[in-house]
Amino acid sequence: MVAIETTDLTRRFGEVTALSGLTLSVDEGALFGLLGPNGSGKTTTIELLTGQREPSGGSATVVGHDPVTEPMAVKRAIGILPEREDPPSFLTPREYLTFVGEVRDLGSEAQSASEDVSGQRPRTIDDRIETWAERLEFAGVLDALSTGLSEGERQRVMLAAAFLHDPDLVFIDEPLVNLDPIMQEQVKAVLSDYCERGNTLFLSTHYVDVAAELCTHVGIVEDGELVAECDPREMSEDELLEYFIAEVGGERRGSGVAVQP
Ligand SMILES: Nc1ncnc2c1ncn2[C@@H]1O[C@H](COP(=O)(O)OP(=O)(O)OP(=O)(O)O)[C@@H](O)[C@H]1O
């Protein structure tokens, strides 16, 4: 089954073509990585697929829904962590996640009986929050004001918010920014585990090593165009880096092509 399908998806901002004729298919259960240098159209793609922006041309289907005509159906079915999002500074992570849980209708009996990504069956929103806080190691700051959280702690709270309602499909724009190497490993394990359970992840990243290590399918974008697709499991990280460099212009550019420090 296909989770995401796009045909000639295009978005222009005045004179700038942020995305040009993207045609792509992502299977259910894939850990898909949209890999591209800065300004190549990754965030715009996520915005179009999640119904946050309308395309200038082309079409898309996300878990069977059109993000232009059925944005609310798409919103209900997915989780999302945009590139720059923080919990509100005057709320604690627990308060914020409780709010998200209420918005996601997790208080109802039917929802609270469902199995979450960890295979457990949390009964209440607070059980879910505790489970994610343990998994992503922010239990110690659950009741602290978010204004005092580190960048990495905020990122983990927002990750928990994206997964809280056990969606079948999650979009994450640059999943590992702001995380220390130990937390990166923890989050990678959560993401892989999520897909091994048959769910689908759509990541955007400009880090080749993230795509090489995590993804089952990579699409390389450059100047708003999909220039190549590959299975990173069939190549080493160095080979993917070489492939990427060859596809995005032949030279390694400090601003865009990157392996994490
Ligand atoms: N709201 C906007 N108004 C005008 N131009 C925009 C807007 N959003 C994006 N763009 C332009 O569209 C192009 C693609 O931007 P986008 O943010 O999708 O790239 P990206 O691959 O996510 O970049 P990065 O890795 O730096 O986040 C860029 O040239 C950007 O300047």
- Which pLDDT tens digit goes with each residue over 134-174? 999 999 999 999 999 999 999 999 999 999 999 999 999 98
179 pLDDT tier (thresholds 50, 70, 90): confident
Write the CATH number for 191: 3.40.50.300
**Domain range for residue 158?**
2-247
Please indicate whether residue 154, judged by its CB atom, sits closer than 6 Å to ligand 1: no
51 falls within a domain: yes
Q: In this model, does residue 260 exceed pLDDT 70? A: no
Least trusted range by pLDDT, from 39-48, 88-97, 116-125, 219-228: 116-125
Output the 3-class SS for the chain.
CEEEEEEEEEEEECCEEEEEEEEEEEECCCEEEEECCCCCCHHHHHHHHCCCCCCCEEEEEECCECCCCCHHHHHHHEEEECCCCCCCCCCCHHHHHHHHHHHCCCCCHHHHCCCCCCCCCCCCHHHHHHHHHHHCCCHHHCCCCHHHCCHHHHHHHHHHHHHCCCCCEEEEECCCCCCCHHHHHHHHHHHHHHHHCCCEEEEEECEHHHHHHHCCEEEEEECCEEEEEECHHHCCHHHHHHHHHHHCCCCCCCCCCECCC
254 falls within a domain: no
Q: In this model, does residue 258 exceed pLDDT 70? A: no
ipTM for the complex? 0.97
> What's residue 254's pLDDT?
43
34 falls within a domain: yes
Q: Can you tell me the mean pLDDT for 14-28?
A: 95
Q: Can you tell me the mean pLDDT for 204-211?
A: 89
Cα–ligand 1 centroid distance for 44 (angstroms) = 6
115 falls within a domain: yes
255 falls within a domain: no
pLDDT 10s digits, 82-109: 888 899 999 999 999 999 999 888 776 4
261 falls within a domain: no
Q: Name the residue with the closest Cα to ligand 1, atom 31.
A: 39
Average pLDDT of the chain, as a whole number: 88
Q: Can you tell me the mean pLDDT for 111-139?
A: 75
Q: State which ligand 1 atom lies nearest to the alpha carbon of 14.
A: 4
> What's residue 140's pLDDT?
96
258 falls within a domain: no
260 falls within a domain: no
> What's residue 4's pLDDT?
97
The number of distinct structural domains making up the chain is 1
Cα–ligand 1 centroid distance for 144 (angstroms) = 34
